[in-house]
Structure 1
Amino acid sequence: MDASDLLTEAYGRLPDLVAAAVEGLSPEQLRQAPGAGSNPVGWLVWHLTRIQDNHLSDLHGAEQVWLGGDRASRFGLSADPDDTGFGHGPAQIAAVRPENGQVLIDYHRAVVDRTLAYLRGLSAADLDRVVDENWDPPVTLGVRLVSVLDDDLQHVGQAAYVRGLILRG
C-alpha cells in the first residue's frame, strides 16, 4: 500500500464516524454542550468539516464546498470562507445551529468525497512538496494531510463522547 492509498483509507473512514456521532440526535441535542465551556456535537462536526474543507480546498486550488448553494444558511451562518471555528468563543459556538444531523452528514460527505478524489491523484513525490514555508521546518503536503486527519479524528472522537453524555442524560 502506498502513502496515497493509506491516506485514502484513513480519510474514507471519517464519514461513518461522523454519522455515528450525529444520527438520531435532535437539533437541540446537536446544539447541547455537556457543560460550561465545552463544545456541542454539532459544532464539533461542523468545525472538523470546515477545517478539512478549508485546508484541502487551499491545497488543490478549489472553492470550498461550504461556499456553494445554501449550505451555510442551513447552519444559521453566512458563507464566510475564513470561519472554520478556530478560535471560536462561546457566542460563536452557540451560533452554529445545524438544522439537523443530516446537514452535518451531507456537508461532511461532500467534503470527504472531494478529498478522496484529490488523494487518489497524488504521487509519493507530491507528498514531499512544501505547502507552507511559515514553519520551521516548512510543512509538506504529506504533513498537512496528516495534520488535518489528526484534527478530524480528535474532534469526531470528542463528538462521539459528547453524544454519549447527552444520551445518558
Structure 2
Amino acid sequence: MSTPHLRTYAGHMNIRELLTDAASRPASAAEPVLDGLSDEAAHRMPADRGNTIAWLLWHAARQMDVQTVALSGGKSVWTSGGWAQRLGVDRGEDEFGFGDSPEDVAALHVDDVAALGAHLQACTDALTAYIGTLSEDDLGEVIDDSYDPPVTRGARIVSIIDDAAVHVGQAAYARGLVDGWRAAV
C-alpha cells in the first residue's frame, strides 16, 4: 500500500530534521479535514458534547504556540500574526483551551474556518524555526524536573507535536461524525 503523504529520506537524518518533519505533519493532515468544511459542520459538537472541529484545530495550533513561546521566550504567533482578529476568536494570548468545558467549546466560533489551516501552519513554522536553532545538547537539557523522569527540551517538543497530531486526528474523526466525511486512504 502506498502512503504518498509520508516523506521518505535516503541516508542520514539528524534529530532536528526528524523533529521538523514530525512537526510539519499535523498541519499537512489538517488540510484534507478543512477542504470543503462548512461553517456549520466546523462548529457542530458531535453528540452535542464532543469538541468541535473548529475548537480542535484551534487548540492544536494554540497549544503549539503557547508551548513554543514557553520554550523559546519568543513572541506568540497568536499576537504577532493577529490571529485573534483573523479568526474572530476572543481568547487571550495565554489561552489555548486547556480545561475548557463543553460550554467553552460551544462558545468558540471561528469566523474564517479555512484560516484555521493557515493558523496551524504559522504555529508549525514557529516551532520548526525554533527547532532549527537547537543543538543536540539543547534537546537533552532538562527543562522540568517536577516529573519523574525529568522532562527534556526534546521530550517537550515531541509532546507538543503529539498533542497537535492527536487533535488533528480527532478533528478528522469528528468530521466523519458531523458530515459523513471520509479521508482518502
Mark yes or no: TM-score above 0.5: yes
In the alignment, which of 70, 73, 78 is matched to residue 85 of structure 2?
A: 73
TM-score normalised by length of structure 2 = 0.84
TM-score normalised by length of structure 1 = 0.92
Indicate yes or no: 2:44 matched with 1:32.
yes
Q: Distance in 2 between matches of 1:70 and 1:143?
A: 29
Q: Does the Cα contact within 8 Å between 2:25 and 2:165 map onto a contact in 1?
A: no
Please list, as runs of the form range in 1=range in 2, the aligned pairs for 1:48-127 lying within 5 A after superposition: 48-68=60-80, 70-127=82-139
Amino acid in the other structure paired with 1:161: Y
In structure 2, the partner of 1:153 is 165
Deviations 1:28-54 (A, max 9, x none): 211011113211111000011110000
SS of structure 2 residue aligned to 1:83: coil
Return 5+ residue gaps in structure 2 as ranges: 1-12
**Pairwise CA RMSD of aligned residues?**
1.6
Please list, as runs of the form range in 1=range in 2, the aligned pairs for 1:14-25 lying within 5 A after superposition: 14-25=26-37
Q: Which runs of 4+ in 1 moved over 6 A?
A: none
Q: Distance in 2 between matches of 1:144 and 1:70?
A: 26
In structure 2, the partner of 1:136 is 148
Q: Does the Cα contact within 8 Å between 1:76 and 1:96 map onto a contact in 2?
A: no
Amino acid in the other structure paired with 1:121: T
CA shift at 1:116, angstroms? Answer: 1.2
Q: Does the Cα contact within 8 Å between 2:89 and 2:110 map onto a contact in 1?
A: no
Identity of aligned residues (%): 38
Q: Does the Cα contact within 8 Å between 1:67 and 1:79 map onto a contact in 2?
A: no
SS of structure 2 residue aligned to 1:131: strand
CA shift at 1:106, angstroms? Answer: 1.5
CA shift at 1:69, angstroms? Answer: 5.1
Q: Does the Cα contact within 8 Å between 1:30 and 1:100 map onto a contact in 2?
A: no
Return 5+ residue gaps in structure 1 as ranges: none
CA shift at 1:61, angstroms? Answer: 0.6
